[in-house]
Amino acid sequence: MERPLIGVVPLWDEEKDSLWMLPGYLEGILRAGGLPLMLPLTTDTGALRQAAGLCAGFLFTGGQDLFPGLYGAEVLPVCGPVCEERDAMERTLFSIAVWEQNKSAFGICRGIQLFNVLLGGTLYQDLPTQLTESALSHQQKPPYDRPVHQVTISGELRELLGFDTLAVNSSHHQGIAKLAPDLVPMARAADGLVEAVRMKDKPFVWAVQWHPEFALAEESSGKLFNALVEACRNTGR
């Protein structure tokens, strides 16, 4: 069976002026039966439209903070580095691939935050200073494959994974503040932070806050990548 082609948003290293990629993103797709294709960092609408036509779906990866202006907020001192070119690229790609072409999409870490912002939600720019009532630490130290807190699972994600709670890794200092109207929560941490979502009225536009690409040995990680690839097989080109 031919592998569905899945576009992967590149990671950007400003210091080295280079694009790069974590192997777990690509390996997760390959193990699930897909063929990952790392995209260029571009805001060229024609190029992104062509990529959307070629690929059956997309993986929106982790990375820099989102520019707060995207959700109508001022940049606070606690906000980390941003990459506005990548913000613009992903905004255009999401519009073309998800809204226009109804392609499948899966977001990881920054990806869940991106989906939320593009659909009208807001973010905490820094959880330790803005979600002060939380006793959880969402920024673990290496190794990143070990779980550090649990999330409560619901809805379609519970159906996929087969259980009510999941121990997850965690490496983020931003998170969902106001949930976008078009998103349905599928997992929450003990402090109430939304950690998994799906988009209403779309076949497969899912995202998680944790990092399955660092924990490919976990059954839950395999199921998430399998769900993306299977959705891409169903939607096709």
DSSP reduced 3-state for 168: strand
Question: What is the predicted pLDDT for the residue at 166?
Answer: 98
**What span, in angstroms and rounded, lies between the C-alpha atoms of 133 and 203?**
36
- pLDDT at residue 146 tops 90: yes
Residue type, 35: L
d(CA 124, CA 210): 16
Tell me the CA distances in angstroms from 188 to 116, 195, 196, 205, 235, one per residue in order: 15, 5, 7, 18, 28
| pLDDT tens, residue by residue, 189-198 | 999 999 999 9
- Domains along the chain with CATH numbers: 5-235 (3.40.50.880)
Q: What is the pLDDT of residues 74-129, one digit of tens each?
A: 999 999 999 999 999 999 999 999 999 999 999 999 999 999 999 999 999 999 99
Confidence of residue 216 (pLDDT cuts 50, 70, 90): very high
Q: What is the pLDDT of residue 123?
A: 98
Whether residue 133 is predicted with pLDDT greater than 90 in this model: the reply is no
For residue 206, name the pLDDT band (cuts at 50, 70, 90). very high
Query: Could you write out the three-class secondary structure of 7-76?
Result: EECCEEECCCCEEECCHHHHHHHHHCCCEEEECCCCCCHHHHHHHHHHCCEEEECCCCECCHHHHCCCCC
Instruction: Give the C-alpha separation, 19 to 25, whole Å.
Output: 14
**According to the model, what pLDDT value does residue 200 have?**
97
User: What SS3 state is found at 81?
Assistant: coil
pTM for this entry: 0.97
Across the range 60-74, mean pLDDT stands at 98
Residue 30 pLDDT exceeds 80: yes
pLDDT band at 236 (very low <50, low <70, confident <90, very high): low
Residues marked active site are found at 109, 211, 213
Q: Is the pLDDT of residue 237 over 60?
A: no
pLDDT average, residue stretch 20-48: 98
* Mean pLDDT value across the chain: 96
